[in-house]
Amino acid sequence: MTRFWQTCTSLTTASRGWLIAQQPRLREIVGGATFIRPRPAKRNNGFASTLPFRHHPATTMFPMKLIQFIKTISAVLALAFAGPAVAKDSKTLDVYWVDVEGGGGTLIVTPAGESILIDTGMPGGRDPGRLHEAATQVAGVKQIDHLIVTHFHIDHFGGAAELSEKMPIKNVWDNGIPERDPDGRANSNFLLRIKPYRNMKVGKRHVIQPGTELPLRQADGTAKLRVRCVAAMQKFVPVPKETQRNPLTDKVKWVAEDTTDNANSVAVIVELGGFRFWDGGDLTQNTEARLVTPHNRVGTVDVYQVNHHGLDFSNNPIFIQSLEPTVSVMNNGVTKGCGASSFAAVKSAKVRAMYQLHKNLRADIENNATDEFIANLTRDCDAHHIHMSVAPNGQKYTISIPDKGHSRTYKTRTK
């Protein structure tokens, strides 16, 4: 039963139509029941959304031969609808926060159609599978042009090797693979864990540094696109000329130094014209503070991907207040992230909207955005993603949760 629904929910609108046409054969198998009801396709900025099937009384019992039939037609569908289920037909900048349940997995598709994936979740099939499905079936890309691995914790690099077996990865950007555990643990299995990542087949590998810009194609008729590294290995881009001293500098509350690889995370700013988006991996509080004090090297942003899944080791209030985001997006899990102090820090920046991939289901359930802004509300979720589409001129952006029908548009801040 579960395998049947997993197969069905992976089908796109076109595939679903084909399956509906096969109902005479299916009725023979299940004894005359019509169990697939045609439904109009939901649209999301020109993309056909994946449509989950609804349970029907006739599906309460499935003979094994129906399971085998579904497997067979899945293979047929893979050939009949080869290639991406959707194609990028606009010059928007698109960002997809894929649900890897408390890991990192942010997919970006540029106006020119190039793909940038920041982190790859955990190994083990689930996260690489979700990333591959998001890339090919939702975003409509056939390869990853640029993979950025922010740091060497398993929930960020772990899915890369398996993903590379599912689709080509042209360029990998990271801090350089360490020769020993980057957290300094003597009895670590890091060298075993990193082996698939070290050995995976990719086009080229690059060591990223503050100031590195990804070589990206510019699309005609759009604002200038720029993806730039602003921090890596606790080193930063230079202070922009004529930058004034940050008035919040003296309010920083320093904490014990973080000796893990989180503090070494790669942080990037994605810009399209005046629009700016922050992704800082798992940067922790002191590194965050040094990035914006005594001078703010980053500037302000429109959208802030909450550092470190919203864990309280990160998200220094002064850092977030210095960035002044309009919207935040948290790639947390059911019980991971969305910590009390991180949640309060984001709220202190007076953001207009706080999005979460998951509802925090710990005892401190008060540390949550309103349900409208949360993609997955229950422990047994359907891996709903969050999508952002930035207008070609960079002057506005829409954030949506396609599976919930939520969509809101925000104006890019004036600098």
Tell me: the pLDDT tens digits for 360-373? 999 999 999 999 99
Query: What is 86-134 written as a DSSP string?
Result: S---S--EEEEE---SSS--EEEE-TTS-EEEE----SSSHHHHHHHHI
Summarised one tens digit per residue, pLDDT across range 198-239 is 999 999 999 999 999 999 999 999 999 999 999 999 999 999
Q: Identify whether 86 is part of a domain.
A: no
Q: For residue 238, what are the contacts with CB-CB under 8 A and spacing of at least 6?
A: 211, 297
Q: Identify whether 85 is part of a domain.
A: no
Say what the alpha-carbon torsion angle 116, 118, 124, 130 is, to the nearest 10 degrees.
-60
How many domains does the chain divide into? 2
pLDDT of residue 381: 78
Stretch 78-89: mean pLDDT: 44
Question: φ and ψ at 144, to 5 degrees?
Answer: -100, 115
pLDDT of residue 367: 95
In whole numbers, what is the pLDDT of the chain averaged over residues? Answer: 85
pLDDT of residue 153: 98
pLDDT of residue 245: 98
Summarised one tens digit per residue, pLDDT across range 289-306 is 999 999 999 999 999 999
Supply the pTM of this predicted model.
Answer: 0.80
Question: What CATH code is carried by the domain that includes residue 176?
Answer: 3.60.15.10
Indicate if 26 and 151 belong to the same structural domain: no
Checking if the pLDDT of 58 tops 90, the result is no
Q: Which of 83-87, 147-151, 263-267 has the lowest mean pLDDT?
A: 83-87
User: Domain end: 28, 50, 80, which one?
Assistant: 80
Q: What is the DSSP pairing of strand 267-272 with strand 275-279?
A: antiparallel
User: Domain end: 56, 80, 104, which one?
Assistant: 80
Indicate if 105 and 230 belong to the same structural domain: yes
pLDDT of residue 88: 60
Q: Which of 11-15, 112-116, 196-200, 402-406 has the lowest mean pLDDT?
A: 11-15
Indicate if 22 and 170 belong to the same structural domain: no
pLDDT of residue 85: 40
Checking if the pLDDT of 261 tops 90, the result is yes
